[in-house]
Structure 1
């Protein structure tokens, strides 16, 4: 296929290489070879999981990925090898003769890989580290702590992604993810960073213009800043009323999927918000926000965890990242005076 020098440069993903077609083609080949190796190992792991789990759905549950991802991986493997590895029926999957031979080879290769990784796990952390984190918490807390981590581990290159959606570590190719709230994926390992409370707040300007609610039910007469899907459950605000936990549904004229946006509009006087304390407490100290209904405050069950794949817990750069941030949040920064 005939492609331009510019296209080859973009595909190679390199900087500082002369715009020489030969050099760029070699760089592009090296990139593709690296990707091909990763894909082959991933296909082997998925194929092995299908055999061990006894089916595609069971393998998907074991790996924590979608069933279509498992099917596509095995189909791609069979196309690349040019043979059928599994006899499929509506109820069972059975290895073909070629599948039995390939499974033995997969076991040998993956065991050798694990042995090789074990030999270097005690070495200095280095290499690429892909991290996913919630947008508001990542911007407000993790970014502030990253310079210290990068200074301590100069050979680690962090690829930092902010998203309020829960990424799939395998399918989306992440090493670790920071998660808020209850953990849903039992296939992942986790370490708790800290607990996180939420506080009902409003700006002095909003309260001057609209008055101050004195009970949770009084929120019905106020504009509240609320969440869009998939976080609509946060629009049920918990309060202790007459010794019982009750949840009050709130409404308003502005909704968003982004906590930072809601926070900024709250400070601007648009409405009342139930805000995470890492943003609320500093804003209260500055006088930008005022806490509301403290006598009805209910203890939140939100916790911050870092999650990772079980088989990668001893990789030096992953272990270093987790240990570093566990130490950072041992005493949460927003609780310090």
Structure 2
């Protein structure tokens, strides 16, 4: 039913008539004359090319076509009410409970999330950290932050920015074992590797020579399902690890860790935030998205 926007008023009249089963009672609710109600219904029936009511001297009753239109009208006006509420809320200051899912690597973003809490004290964070694929809509998340592409048509997405990886180790480790000059040199080093908990597979180290991937077959001294223990062991001089640059900025700045093999590192990861496409980007979600994009995800 191709009903123009200027017919919304007539649809409203139609709904009021169905509620009261009377043109006169509907006119009283709307503050217009019964004649105006009758004309509005007549114009709507002419536009749709069908009768909407069976009329008698005492009451009106819906036709089958009228019943179909009533169902659609209820959906239309429910969406309008929801949109009006969301638009009104969008003008408010960010506040309330914000349920967000991060990948496990997101636990390393806690300093940034702590800064977000200081900036927006009226937002209550409810944080979930997991590498499993969560259902944003069914599980009731306001937003989900993930790496990689998003293909779910039910979701809206925005890039937060890119991040790079670094192969790092402690100066004391390289003093004892030597500094690798090429990816092949890692064969004689203690590699601290990240294992995806969802698949059990090891994360590839993005090492390339002349566009050819050369990061296969690395030895394994330790595997862990999260990055924190790998970073800690690297700081203690137990080996070398490959982690996102943002996760070791503080250690690199202090000299606790140093980078190696930078000319051979190629890939760049991407963080994205997604939220249900049937919802506006609420103030609290927009605040988080803008904060992460401006404060964290700027590739070095």
TM-score normalised by L of structure 1: 0.59
* 1:170 equivalent in alignment to 2:111: no
Could you report, residue by residue, the CA deviation over 1:101-143 in whole angstroms, capped at 9, with x for unpaired residues? 877655553443333323332223222111122334x3433x3
1:198 to partner: Cα distance: 0.5
Secondary structure, aligned partner of 2:289: helix
The 5 A counterparts of 1:31-110 are 105-106=74-75, 108-110=77-79
Uncovered stretches (5+) of structure 1, i.e. residues with no partner = 1-97
Which residue of 2 is the match for residue 127 of structure 1?
96
1:180 to partner: Cα distance: 2.4
* 1:329 equivalent in alignment to 2:278: no
* 1:282 equivalent in alignment to 2:250: yes
1:270 to partner: Cα distance: 2.5
Aligned length: 232
Aligned mates of 2:200, 2:142 — CA distance in 1: 28
Aligned mates of 1:331, 1:246 — CA distance in 2: 25
Could you report, residue by residue, the CA deviation over 1:227-270 in whole angstroms, capped at 9, with x for unpaired residues? 223476663323332x2232321230321210112211222222
Report the structure number with the largest CA radius of gyration: 2
1:151 to partner: Cα distance: 4.3
Going from structure 1 to structure 2, the CA distance change for 1:329 and 1:212 (only over 3 Å counts) comes to closer
Could you report, residue by residue, the CA deviation over 1:49-104 in whole angstroms, capped at 9, with x for unpaired residues? xxxxxxxxxxxxxxxxxxxxxxxxxxxxxxxxxxxxxxxxxxxxxxxxx9998776
Which residue of 1 is the match for residue 224 of structure 2?
256
Contact 1:135–1:260 (CA under 8 A) maintained in structure 2: no
TM-score normalised by L of structure 2: 0.65
The 5 A counterparts of 1:18-37 are none
Which residue of 2 is the match for residue 113 of structure 1?
82
* 1:196 equivalent in alignment to 2:189: no
Contact 1:312–1:318 (CA under 8 A) maintained in structure 2: no
1:226 to partner: Cα distance: 1.6
Higher RCO (CA-CA < 8 Å; seq separation 6+): 2
Aligned mates of 1:246, 1:266 — CA distance in 2: 24
Going from structure 1 to structure 2, the CA distance change for 1:102 and 1:189 (only over 3 Å counts) comes to same
Going from structure 1 to structure 2, the CA distance change for 1:100 and 1:266 (only over 3 Å counts) comes to farther
Q: How much is the aligned-residue C-alpha RMSD, in angstroms?
A: 3.0
Aligned mates of 1:309, 1:254 — CA distance in 2: 39
Secondary structure, aligned partner of 1:295: helix
1:216 to partner: Cα distance: 0.9
* 1:222 equivalent in alignment to 2:189: yes
Q: Structure 1 residue aligned with 2:276, among 305, 309, 315?
A: 309
Which residue of 1 is the match for residue 175 of structure 2?
208
Contact 1:121–1:315 (CA under 8 A) maintained in structure 2: yes
Going from structure 1 to structure 2, the CA distance change for 1:306 and 1:221 (only over 3 Å counts) comes to same
Which residue of 1 is the match for residue 285 of structure 2?
318
Aligned mates of 1:184, 1:267 — CA distance in 2: 38
